[in-house]
């Protein structure tokens, strides 16, 4: 938790209390003090919709396998928080033209059908030695892909795991007259291909496009193994995608109203379309998490980059030279961030959806921006100067600096890692275990309704604290539970309730429930609801392992009964965590 030192910021905070404070929140005058909104369920849990953007280009077989095998570490972290989650997967596949090599992935579309057939990269087909050299006649990666595909079948057919090396040679090298008994070649009259080694699409079980916590509840916990297995199949996006990876653009495409069809829980939204390909993923009052997994830099561009250059994907780095952003066809980081918020505001039917409600994380290579020079034409015997930033058992990785800059455009409480940067790049570690554990902790921290930012800080005398809303009672400067001497204004944080249908009759009914501050029901600042009386709750330290404070009802059963049919959010003022 960030600790604010006295004398550094308190002297800059000077807020006068209004005689009858109807203003929802008064802000500290310290630089960087902003208001945050945290949607929350009445039981204290938090809704969050998580979009995983997974690179499906040719070199990603080892990374996808590692992600699937270690995903349980992520689930273990979020399980303990009672997180109300939706999880969906899309890819970096955003070609400018038709790309028949990849028949399954559609730009920005959520997908869950496995695509295990390898692309052109031989390291995804044949075994490599410790030096990264392909060993002819050994097919361990191909065998592993087949075994993973079998686990996704409606009825796992172990005969797919019994192919011989001669079968693999026939399917990959296609020597004249070869056959795989009963499958292809020979009497069948068909030439053998790699697809013949894998189940057909109709043999896979139906993996939901959106993995919902409600579908995996098992008593007070989650069916971790089933969730892990379903994610392993959904994240098996394969290695046949376009080699100009555009992870950032894919996240924008996936969140457009045309694809989301609006929030699943608000059919009044403009553009609501339950037939839209990504409908069912986003919810109106949920937070949003965006997680990338890629071994390449982002190459989202305005359509003018030559994707058919002889320089291949090195043209992306040529367009990424520092100081040349204004003339570069690459989309600007800040513009993409702003477009993401616009998309989410429209898709959620929530114009108030703000930066404090999004979390971003990424597993990518070390950020080393290409310094030039750039080449106009690339020949096989001419080095382009673009070099991998690391090589390990997962293969090689190129710079991920555009992802790093995108993450860092958010407040440090919203991107992972929060307090310091992993300058090596998580992909270069060669093991996803620490990254998935840490990202799970990062996302799970908000799962129990925990607020980790420094709420409206104050000094011991409390003179900086405004009055409580609709009251002449000043707030008190109180100890922040679980902190090391940090204090905050008790009047600098509120719990609000909103009605789904705020008619005059319903507002009167809300008033009679006894949970609203007098005078706040239907006020112009929140016409659909009211401010919950602070006498109904307190803020306590989060459970061990979670950072921050969380809402605790004085009588949770009574609160659930009184607030049925409403949505809740916590609003508070805090110093920007970048300061």
For the stretch 309-339, pLDDT in tens is: 888 899 999 999 999 999 999 999 999 999 9
Q: Is residue 2 part of a domain?
A: no
For residue range 472-488, what is the model confidence (pLDDT) as tens digits?
888 888 888 888 888 88
Q: Is residue 337 part of a domain?
A: yes
Whether the CB-CB separation of 533 and 464 falls below 8 Å is answered with: no
Two tokens at 133? Answer: 């050299």
Same domain, 212 and 349: yes
Residue 447 has pLDDT above 70, yes or no: no
Same domain, 385 and 342: yes
Q: How confident is the model at residue 429 (pLDDT cuts 50, 70, 90)?
A: confident
Same domain, 269 and 417: yes
Same domain, 328 and 381: yes
Domain count, the chain: 3
Query: Phi, psi at residue 396, to the nearest 5°?
Result: -105, 155
Same domain, 502 and 432: no
Residue 466 has pLDDT above 80, yes or no: yes
Q: Is residue 543 part of a domain?
A: yes
Q: Is residue 1 part of a domain?
A: no
* Rounded Cα gap, residues 119 and 194, in angstroms: 10
Q: What angle do CA 433, 404, 388 make, to 5 degrees?
A: 75
* Domain enclosing residue 557, as ranges: 10-44+451-575
Same domain, 278 and 341: yes
Same domain, 411 and 525: no
Q: What percent of the chain has pLDDT over 70?
A: 90
Q: Domain boundary residue among 143, 175, 198? A: 198
Same domain, 14 and 73: no
- Angle between helices 61-79 and 140-151 in degrees, nearest 10: 40
554, 238, 540, 293: which is closest to 416 by C-alpha? 293
For residue range 167-193, what is the model confidence (pLDDT) as tens digits?
999 999 888 889 999 899 887 778 899
Q: Is residue 326 part of a domain?
A: yes
Please, what is the average pLDDT of the chain?
Answer: 86
Q: Is residue 4 part of a domain?
A: no
Q: Domain boundary residue among 421, 444, 467? A: 444
| 193-227 residues labelled b (16+ CB within 10 A) or e (exposed) | ebebbbbeeebbeebebbbbbeebeeeeebbbeeb
Residue 461 has pLDDT above 90, yes or no: no
Q: Domain boundary residue among 444, 469, 494? A: 444
Same domain, 440 and 464: no
Q: Is residue 3 part of a domain?
A: no
In sequence order, what are the beta bridge partners of 396?
Answer: 391
List all residues 6 or more positions away from 349 whose beta carbon is below 8 Å from its beta carbon: 262, 263, 266, 268, 269, 270, 284
Q: Are strands 358-363 and 287-293 parallel, antiparallel or unpaired?
A: parallel
The model carries a pTM of: 0.83
Two tokens at 151? Answer: 């686990």
Same domain, 136 and 226: no
Q: Is residue 96 part of a domain?
A: yes
Same domain, 380 and 336: yes
Same domain, 355 and 458: no
């Amino acid at each position: 938790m960030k600790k604010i030192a006295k004398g550094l910021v308190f002297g800059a905070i000077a807020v006068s209390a209004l005689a009858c404070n109807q203003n929802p929140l008064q802000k500290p005058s310290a630089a960087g003090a902003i208001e945050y909104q945290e949607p929350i369920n009445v039981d204290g849990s938090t809704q969050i919709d998580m979009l995983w953007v997974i690179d499906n280009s040719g070199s990603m077989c080892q990374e996808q396998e590692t992600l699937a095998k270690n995903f349980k570490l992520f689930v273990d972290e979020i399980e303990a928080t009672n997180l109300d989650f939706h999880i969906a997967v899309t890819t970096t596949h955003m070609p400018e033209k038709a790309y028949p090599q990849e028949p399954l992935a559609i730009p920005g579309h959520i997908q869950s059908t496995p695509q295990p057939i390898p692309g052109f990269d031989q390291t995804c087909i044949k075994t490599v030695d410790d030096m990264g050299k392909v060993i002819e006649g050994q097919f361990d990666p191909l065998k592993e892909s087949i075994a993973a595909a079998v686990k996704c079948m409606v009825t796992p057919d172990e005969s797919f795991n019994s192919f011989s090396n001669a079968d693999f040679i026939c399917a990959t090298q296609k020597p004249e007259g070869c056959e795989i008994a009963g499958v292809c070649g020979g009497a069948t009259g068909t030439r053998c291909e790699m697809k013949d080694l894998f189940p057909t699409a109709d043999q896979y079980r139906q993996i939901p496009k959106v993995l919902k916590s409600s579908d995996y509840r098992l008593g007070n916990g989650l069916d971790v193994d089933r969730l892990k297995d379903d994610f392993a199949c959904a994240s098996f996006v394969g290695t046949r995608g376009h080699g100009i990876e555009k992870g950032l653009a894919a996240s924008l495409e996936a969140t457009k109203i045309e694809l989301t069809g609006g929030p699943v829980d608000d059919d009044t939204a403009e553009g609501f379309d339950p037939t839209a390909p990504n409908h069912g993923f986003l919810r109106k009052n949920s937070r949003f998490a965006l997680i990338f997994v890629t071994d390449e830099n982002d190459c989202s561009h305005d359509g003018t980059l030559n994707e058919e250059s002889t320089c291949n994907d090195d043209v992306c780095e040529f367009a990424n030279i520092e100081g040349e952003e204004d003339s570069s066809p690459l989309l600007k980081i800040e513009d993409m961030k702003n477009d993401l918020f616009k998309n989410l505001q429209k898709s959620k039917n929530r114009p108030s959806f703000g930066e404090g409600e999004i979390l971003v994380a990424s597993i990518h290579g070390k950020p080393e921006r290409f310094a030039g020079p750039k080449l106009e034409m690339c020949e096989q015997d001419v080095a382009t100067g673009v070099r991998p930033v690391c090589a390990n058992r997962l293969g090689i990785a190129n710079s991920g600096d555009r992802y790093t800059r995108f993450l860092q455009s958010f407040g440090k409480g919203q991107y992972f890692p929060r307090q310091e940067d992993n300058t090596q790049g998580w992909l270069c570690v060669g093991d996803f275990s620490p990254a998935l554990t840490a990202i799970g902790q990062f996302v799970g921290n908000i799962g129990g309704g925990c607020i980790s930012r420094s709420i409206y800080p104050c000094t011991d005398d409390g003179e900086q604290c405004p009055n409580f809303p609709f009251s002449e009672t000043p707030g008190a400067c109180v100890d922040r539970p679980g902190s090391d001497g940090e204090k905050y204004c008790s009047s600098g944080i509120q719990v609000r309730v909103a009605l789904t249908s705020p008619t005059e009759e319903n507002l009167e009914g809300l008033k009679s429930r006894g949970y609203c501050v007098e005078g706040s029901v239907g006020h112009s600042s929140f016409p659909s609801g009211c401010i919950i009386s602070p006498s109904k709750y307190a803020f306590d330290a989060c459970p061990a392992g979670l950072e921050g404070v969380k809402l605790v009802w004085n009588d949770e059963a009574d609160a659930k009964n009184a607030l049925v049919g409403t949505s809740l959010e916590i609003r508070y003022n805090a110093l920007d965590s970048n300061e």
